[in-house]
Amino acid sequence: MANDTSKDPELDKLLERKAREMVKGVKNVGNVVELNRNNFNDFIKAHDVAVNDFWATWCAPCFMLEQIIKKLAAEMPNVGFGRLNTEEEPEIAAKYYIMSLPTVMIFKNGEPIDQVVGVVPKKVLQDRIKAYLDN
């Protein structure tokens, strides 16, 4: 039987707290925009290259990836970095066929061109993003 935590807000809070404890001590840096249905399309169109982190509060690996995304945002000011909570915006996640979390989707000129599923080393994600700069 699948474990459905979306109906238990107390469990969601515990999982989120535990996930944040796992990444405690990692410095928060970077400028990552919190995206939602009101700003998502404008955000991906406003940047030549935009990177979106699809995540959820119950996803412990998402909190590990969050720190990598923040570091990349600080190091790559010419790229737009955003994150979208898939629990709050399931329609957008469905539009892009997000089936696993975390998923990082790279957009160029407002169109999806690449995605990375799961937590990967910073260098791997950085190289994938750099491949679409100035192309």
Say how many Å lie between the first and final Cα of the chain, rounded. Answer: 46
Q: Is 65 a catalytic residue?
A: no
The catalytic position among 19, 62, 79, 105 is: 62
Cis peptide before 121 (omega within 30 of 0): no
Q: What is the dihedral of CA 72, 87, 92, 130, to 10 degrees?
A: 10
- Tell me how far apart the alpha carbons of residues 103 and 17 are, in angstroms, rounded to a whole number: 21
- Annotation says 79 is catalytic: no
Q: Find the catalytic residue in 32, 44, 56, 59.
A: 59
Nearest to 102 by CA among 75, 77, 131, 69: 69
**Which residue type is seen at 107?**
F
| Residue numbers annotated as active site | 59, 62
